[in-house]
């Protein structure tokens, strides 16, 4: 139970990666400003969180089951919180999907949207009425740079993030009237166990129903380029957690928060040309015409940029 003055923070998707790191970072705050409610769909996966939390577990950090894909689970979780009082909601739960669209079933695509988009909508719908009544609150949504810029072979995942960005951009206007802030966190590549396993798995897949050329482009061009980008520009879950903490502690939190300054030119390029041709043609050439050059560029970038620059978070102030 939160003590006087503590802000109640509910975080989804805390079994590993970014969610786990945000939960632990806030729960171990030296000033004990936060009472963290860490949630996950399957409590059997709680061991990593408990180990990382250490002696703050069941003190400034408690654990509740929550499946963002279930209306009943969401409502039951919120009802189990004293007075349904949540000061800060951090929507982190999400799933990825990578590969040629031809080989991806509609069921898999719907699963991504059910978690990444409708899961966020469910959470906001459940906590928003109470925040409105109190006329206070902060809703944080873990988006992605792929919610701003499409990335080849990430078509469905990107679409789910674009949908979430549009929803939140619309909601943010209404919520301001009730003194509720909404913020998007937009990481680029992040080194997590989830990302590593997904890349390893797709490299072994056959992709039935997809033409041989597309499979070859995916395995021999995209995957190596993606690996180069992760090595040169990737951040850690801890980096994203620190940026998230800055956002929730800012006096005037920004709506959009790119966590990696190296991605700013990429996003700016898209908005510099209203026809969309500049970004589409640039990424086409980088991937299919200048693949070796891109590999060299990423290798140089990795050597020239220190860890501090590659992982620098953008200040929300």
In Å, what is the CA distance from 49 to each residue of 28, 40, 226, 272?
A: 13, 10, 29, 43
Strands, sheet with 34-40, edge to edge from the N-terminal-most edge strand: 61-65, 34-40, 7-11, 88-91, 137-142, 180-186, 256-258
Burial class (CB in 10 A: 0-12, 13-18, 19+), 185: buried
User: Catalytic residue at 157?
Assistant: yes
Judged by DSSP in three states, 287 sits in helix
Q: What DSSP assignment string belongs to 190-231?
A: B--HHHHHHHHHHHH---TTS-HHHHHIIIIIIHHHHHHHHH
Beta strands in 53-115 (DSSP E): 61-65, 88-91
Tokens 């510099």, residue? Answer: 272
Q: Are 316 and 250 in contact (CB under 8 A)?
A: yes
Q: Out of 34, 57, 157, 263, which one is annotated catalytic?
A: 157
| Half-sphere exposure of residue 43: CA atoms within 13 angstroms, side-chain side | 6
Positions annotated as catalytic residues are 157
């Amino acid at each position: 139970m939160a003590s006087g003055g503590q802000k109640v923070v509910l975080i989804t998707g805390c079994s590993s990666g970014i969610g786990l790191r945000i939960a632990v970072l806030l729960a171990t705050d030296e000033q004990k400003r936060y009472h963290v409610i860490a949630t996950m769909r399957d409590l059997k996966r709680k061991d990593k969180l408990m180990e990382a939390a250490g002696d703050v577990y069941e003190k400034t950090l408690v654990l509740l089951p929550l499946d963002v894909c279930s209306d009943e689970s969401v409502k039951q979780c919120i009802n189990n919180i004293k007075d349904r009082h949540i000061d800060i909601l951090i929507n982190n739960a999400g799933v990825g999907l990578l590969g040629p669209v031809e080989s991806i079933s509609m069921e898999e695509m719907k699963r991504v949207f059910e978690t990444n988009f409708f899961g966020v909508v469910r959470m906001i719908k459940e906590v928003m009425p109470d925040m409105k009544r109190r006329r206070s609150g902060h809703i944080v949504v873990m988006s992605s740079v792929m919610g701003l810029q499409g990335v080849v072979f990430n078509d469905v995942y990107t679409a789910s993030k674009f949908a979430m960005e549009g929803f939140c951009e619309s909601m943010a206007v209404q919520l301001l009237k009730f003194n509720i802030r909404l913020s998007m966190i937009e990481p680029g590549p992040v080194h997590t166990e989830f990302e590593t396993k997904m890349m390893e798995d797709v490299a072994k897949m056959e992709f039935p129903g997809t033409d041989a050329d597309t499979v070859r482009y995916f395995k021999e061009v995209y995957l190596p380029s993606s690996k180069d980008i992760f090595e040169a520009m990737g951040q850690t879950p801890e980096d994203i957690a620190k940026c998230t903490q800055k956002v929730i502690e800012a006096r005037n939190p920004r709506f959009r928060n790119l966590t990696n300054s190296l991605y700013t030119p990429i996003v700016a390029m898209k908005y510099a040309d209203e026809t969309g041709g500049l970004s589409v043609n640039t990424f086409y050439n980088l991937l299919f015409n200048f693949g070796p050059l891109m590999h060299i560029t990423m290798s140089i970038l990795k050597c020239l940029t220190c860890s501090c620059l590659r992982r620098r978070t953008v200040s929300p102030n």
